[in-house]
């Protein structure tokens, strides 16, 4: 391991996180009048967090001042894994230093703040805060920082890091390959820094458009920014306890649905559409849009959402949850897109929709968005490839001499990808089951025994929902973790486990798992 190089880059990353906190400071002061005691406390908390972050960044940069060499595969894994953990720790400081309250009687602990911060950066959207609308609980500037962590983590803090630095060379590609989600993240092949810059420009451009639309639809500037961050990053943090249901606006829900669909699409496709190759630049827009429509993963992604929306709508009408087709379609479409893109916004409390609907939504939690999107989950393309591998293996059972290559979109894929997909599904299954059982053991029964609507018999399902919601970076789950609830009542050790699952899900396992192998840290 090249320790000086590792220290240097982690130091720069700390400076980036600390510097980004400055954008939260203006929200401590109202447009008219004097800032309240709580906002001043939030302002001071962010200043203190900035000071610590910049100090840590300076110290690490000094330790790496004599770094030599370039970023290799091992260093890339370490920088991504440790970088996200470090960003989560530094991002937790504003919550702690400002005295943010978890409930009216209980302040946030270190683990609570770490949970909230990493939930933000990984765009999970799970929360331990119960009263979002009370400025005495969480100051406005801290609320802004909470939502802004979504936006930083959506496209990826490492991708932003690569975009800002011009001297990483081939190491930049290694970093992006470890952070950009999905098994086919080599779609962007030109100079890596140029690709990172273009993808961030697209991300920023979409954010500006969505912010303007929210303002036109009647949201305040603050709410428009915070919900833009949560939508484009597929995060789900809201400024209201009822999430998007607070606005009760079909126009706002339709706008968010559209942009959640966009955020769940592979940004590499947008890169190819917007930047264009030399031949494509002379083509008309409909030829560029054809790049999106012809993509196999995107077609399956849209098809799954349409089928799920149709089934959910019919089920809600059949069960009598809603009386009219329009209302059922409105909420079924919004929740389907929100869950599958792993955004986690809520227009209704879907945990009250009945067992079939909850089961379908639980399955959709694992699917996720497209590879290279800001969405979490296993990714649509992996399910496509896994299905193809299963078909090939069944055929080989009765035709052992037939040799077929794995194909997607008319192109042959490397044989190693077949192995990678099977290993990934196996790891996800193992981590899900082991975490599910572990959480069920370490969580006390009191949360379920004291609940008026949930019994101890439902604890097993609720723990499974918690693991699925964090491992797939969704946020809300089912049962006691529905859209109207949060993770505040989970034990400290349970929150630590769920925090680790958020990192595993966002970084797609390997960049986190390798950190636990002693052999990974050796020079050879």
Q: Express each pLDDT in 118-134 by its tens digit.
A: 999 999 988 998 888 88
Measured in degrees and rounded to the nearest 5, phi and psi for residue 116 equal -65, -40
Per-residue confidence (pLDDT) for residue 279, from 0 to 100: 44
- Rounded to an integer, the average pLDDT of 304-329 is 93
Binned at pLDDT 50, 70 and 90, residue 173 comes out as low
Looking at the structure of the chain, the number of domains it has is 2
Residues 174 and 191 in one domain: no
Residues 161 and 193 in one domain: no
Residues 153 and 223 in one domain: no
Domain end among 150, 179, 208: 179
Binned at pLDDT 50, 70 and 90, residue 161 comes out as low
Distance CA 471, CA 79 (A): 21
Residues 144 and 284 in one domain: no
Binned at pLDDT 50, 70 and 90, residue 341 comes out as very high
Share of the chain above pLDDT 70, in %: 85
User: Looking at the domain assignment, is residue 494 inside a domain?
Assistant: no
Whether pLDDT at 141 is above 70: yes
Share of the chain above pLDDT 90, in %: 37
Least confident of 12-21, 150-159, 204-213: 150-159
Least confident of 184-198, 218-232, 325-339: 184-198
Residue 8: CA atoms inside 13 Å, Cβ hemisphere, count?
17
What DSSP letter does each residue of 130-193 carry, written as one string?
A: S-TT-TTTS-HHHHHHHHHHHHHHHH-HHHHHHHH-S--THHHHHHHHHHS-STTTT---S-HH
- Rounded to an integer, the average pLDDT of 339-353 is 86
Q: What is the pLDDT of residues 357-413, one digit of tens each?
A: 888 988 888 898 888 888 888 899 889 999 988 888 888 888 887 777 778 877 787
Residues 74 and 219 in one domain: no
Whether pLDDT at 174 is above 90: no
- Rounded to an integer, the average pLDDT of 421-429 is 91
Residues 201 and 272 in one domain: yes
Distance of CA 66 to the CA centre of its chain: 35
User: Looking at the domain assignment, is residue 59 inside a domain?
Assistant: yes
Of 35-49, 429-443, 448-462, highest mean pLDDT? 429-443
Task: Count CB atoms within 10 A of the CB of residue 441.
Answer: 9
User: Looking at the domain assignment, is residue 500 inside a domain?
Assistant: no
Whether pLDDT at 268 is above 90: no
Any idea what DSSP says for residue 101?
B
Residues 107 and 157 in one domain: yes
Predicted TM-score of the model (pTM): 0.90
Residue-range definition of the domain harbouring residue 251: 186-489
- CA neighbor of 465 nearest in space, from 421, 507, 501, 418: 501
Residue 422: CA atoms inside 13 Å, Cβ hemisphere, count?
11
Per-residue confidence (pLDDT) for residue 420, from 0 to 100: 85
User: What residues contact residue 441 under an 8 Å CB cut-off, 6+ apart?
Assistant: none
Per-residue confidence (pLDDT) for residue 91, from 0 to 100: 95
Per-residue confidence (pLDDT) for residue 210, from 0 to 100: 96
Q: What is the pLDDT of residues 473-514, one digit of tens each?
A: 888 777 667 676 788 888 899 999 999 999 998 888 888 888
Of 9-13, 177-181, 257-261, highest mean pLDDT? 257-261
User: Looking at the domain assignment, is residue 221 inside a domain?
Assistant: yes
Per-residue confidence (pLDDT) for residue 287, from 0 to 100: 66
Per-residue confidence (pLDDT) for residue 175, from 0 to 100: 60
Residues 155 and 198 in one domain: no
Per-residue confidence (pLDDT) for residue 435, from 0 to 100: 94
Distance CA 506, CA 1 (A): 24
Residues 164 and 92 in one domain: yes
Per-residue confidence (pLDDT) for residue 278, from 0 to 100: 44
User: Looking at the domain assignment, is residue 503 inside a domain?
Assistant: no
Residues 99 and 222 in one domain: no
Residues 191 and 127 in one domain: no
User: Looking at the domain assignment, is residue 339 inside a domain?
Assistant: yes
The residues facing 101 across adjacent strands are: 107
């Amino acid at each position: 391991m090249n320790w000086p190089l590792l220290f240097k880059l982690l130091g720069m990353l700390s400076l980036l996180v600390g510097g980004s906190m400055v954008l939260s400071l203006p929200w401590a002061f109202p447009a008219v009048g004097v800032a309240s005691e709580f906002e001043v406390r939030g302002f001071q908390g962010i200043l203190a967090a900035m000071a610590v972050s910049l100090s840590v960044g300076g110290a690490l940069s000094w330790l790496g001042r004599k770094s030599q060499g370039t970023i290799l595969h091992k260093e890339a894994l370490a920088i991504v894994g440790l970088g996200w953990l470090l960003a989560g720790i530094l991002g937790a400081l504003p919550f702690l230093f400002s005295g943010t309250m978890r409930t009216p009687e209980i302040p946030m602990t270190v683990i609570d703040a770490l949970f909230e911060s990493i939930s933000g950066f990984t765009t999970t959207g799970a929360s331990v805060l119960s009263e979002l609308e009370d400025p005495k609980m969480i100051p406005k500037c801290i609320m802004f920082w909470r939502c802004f962590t979504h936006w930083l983590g959506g496209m990826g803090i490492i991708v932003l890091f690569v975009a800002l630095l011009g001297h990483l060379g081939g190491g930049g590609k290694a970093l992006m390959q470890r952070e950009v989600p999905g098994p086919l993240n080599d779609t962007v092949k030109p100079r890596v820094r140029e690709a990172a810059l273009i993808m961030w420009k697209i991300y920023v451009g979409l954010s500006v458009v969505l912010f303007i639309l929210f303002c036109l639809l009647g949201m305040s500037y603050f709410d428009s920014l915070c919900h833009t961050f949560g939508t484009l990053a597929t995060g789900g943090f809201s400024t209201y306890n009822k999430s998007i249901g607070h606005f009760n606006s079909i126009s706002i829900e339709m706008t968010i649905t559209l942009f959640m669909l966009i955020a769940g699409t592979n940004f590499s496709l947008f890169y190819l559409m917007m930047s264009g190759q030399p031949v494509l630049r002379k083509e008309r827009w409909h030829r560029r849009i054809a790049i999106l429509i012809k993509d196999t993963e995107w077609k399956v992604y849209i098809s799954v959402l349409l089928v799920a929306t149709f089934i959910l709508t019919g089920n809600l009408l059949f069960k009598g949850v809603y009386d009219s087709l329009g209302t059922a379609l409105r909420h079924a479409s919004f929740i389907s897109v929100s869950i599958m893109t792993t955004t986690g916004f809520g227009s209704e409390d879907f945990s009250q929709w009945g067992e079939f609907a909850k089961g379908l939504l639980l399955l959709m939690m694992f699917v996720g968005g497209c590879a290279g999107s800001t969405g979490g989950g296993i990714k649509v393309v992996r399910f496509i490839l896994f299905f193809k591998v299963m078909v090939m293996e069944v055929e080989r059972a009765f035709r052992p001499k037939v040799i077929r290559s794995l194909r997607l979109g008319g192109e042959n894929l490397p044989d190693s990808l077949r192995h990678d997909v099977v290993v990934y599904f196996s790891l996800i299954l193992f981590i899900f089951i082991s975490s599910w059982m572990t959480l069920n053991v370490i969580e006390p029964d009191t949360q379920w025994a004291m609940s008026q609507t949930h019994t101890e018999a439902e604890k097993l399902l609720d723990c499974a929902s918690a693991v699925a919601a964090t491992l797939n970076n969704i946020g809300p789950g089912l049962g006691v973790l529905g859209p109207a609830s949060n993770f505040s009542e989970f034990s400290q050790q349970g929150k630590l486990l769920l925090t680790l699952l958020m990192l595993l899900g966002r970084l797609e396992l390997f960049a986190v798992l390798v950190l636990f192998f002693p052999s990974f840290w050796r020079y050879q």
